[in-house]
Amino acid sequence: MPTGSYVVETTRTAEVEVREQTDLWSERVGAYQTRLDYRYARAEVFRGEMIRQRSDSYQVVTWHSDQIEYVRTPGLIRQMPDPDYRLLFPLAGELLLRQDDQEVRLTPGTGSLLTLGAPFELLHGASLRGVIMSIPAQEIDGPLNRKASLATGLDLSKGLGRVVHSMVRGLNAERGHLTTSQFDAVCDRVVELLCMLACGDDRPDVPGHLTAVEAVVRRHVRDHAADPDLSGASMARALGWSLRQIQLALQHVGTTPRDLIREERLRLVRERLLRADCEHMTITDLAYASGFSSASAMSTAFRRRFGVSPREMRSKAR
């Protein structure tokens, strides 16, 4: 298994006594997701398997099981608040999701982005094979400039949705060959594309050309994040657009050129902190190599973004 904080775990109810199967499933789902109520169709025997991939930032669980209903009630939310999001989609079978007076029936090729901060019911039959990806709240609330429950039907069968679907499935397929930084890097891109997809569904009035501008700007920032002179103005000159056009395109998804540049530089620092081939670099070296003007400015922004200092993250990864 790859070293670092990236971990792959498998749970099979067939490996325990029949009378312990539902207890095992409830315990693992609660540990991997959040506090839920469980309604088993056949409590006397329950067949299920889940494969969990996780890092300190993200988690992807692929599972199949007998018929079951998961319920998150207002009481459970009060007991254990959890503002994070889940990307949910079936690979086979059907999922029925109810949240915020909406009912979404998910079949292969469709998915939903839901929040754990609002009550929901999730039901599926024995033919279900599904994927659920855990996404920190700030990764969705910031880019979408919103704080609201979502139970959005997403088309994952074509275009950008199909790219998201393929990337998440690829994470599972290559689970035994990934490092922490690779797993996080792919998850970062999935979330970025997911926000674009959700924004397009949620804001149909956004002109198509602004969406295209945003995509190109994001790619430019990713490719040039380490350049200390990168700015909104330098992007405008390099891409041949006006600064106002770039600002407007990013404004539609709740960010600015400065915030986007800082976010990409912080992701670059995090990736390098987790890489064995960058262990020789000091924190100051990393700051300058990632486009920051000083180590203190980078450390302050890093702690605000990830909740730990760069040194703490490197130490934990080791």
Give pLDDT tens digits for 113-162: 888 888 999 999 999 999 999 998 877 775 555 544 454 678 899 888 88
**Whether the Cβ atoms of residue 244 and residue 232 lie closer than 8 Å to each other:** no
Among the residue ranges 52-61, 161-170, 185-194, 255-264, the one predicted with the least confidence is 185-194
User: Over the stretch 160-216, which tens digit does the pLDDT of each residue have?
Assistant: 888 899 999 999 999 999 999 899 989 988 988 887 777 653 333 344 556 767 888
Q: What is the CATH number of domain 206-317?
A: 1.10.10.60
- Residue type for 214, please? E
pLDDT at 171: 95
- From residue 280, give the alpha-carbon distance in Å to each of 161, 250, 283: 39, 36, 10
Which percentage of the chain shows pLDDT scores above 90? 59
The average pLDDT across 35-45 equals: 91
Six token digits for residue 7: 């971990």
3-state class (DSSP) for residue 151? strand
Task: Using alpha carbons, select from 201, 215, 205 the residue that is nearest to residue 161.
Answer: 201
Confidence check: pLDDT of 1 > 90:
no
Q: Phi-psi bin for 159: left (phi > 0), alpha (psi -120 to 50), beta? A: left
The domain 7-199 is placed in CATH, from the list 3.20.20.100, 3.40.50.12780, 2.60.120.10, 3.30.70.141, at 2.60.120.10
DSSP 78-147: HHS----EEEEEEEES-EEEEETTEEEEE-TTEEEEEETTS-EEEEE-TT-EEEEEEE-HHHHHHHHT--
Check if 7-199 and 206-317 are the same fold.
no
29/198 Cα distance (integer angstroms) = 26
Query: Could you tell me the residue ranges of all domains in the chain?
Result: 7-199, 206-317
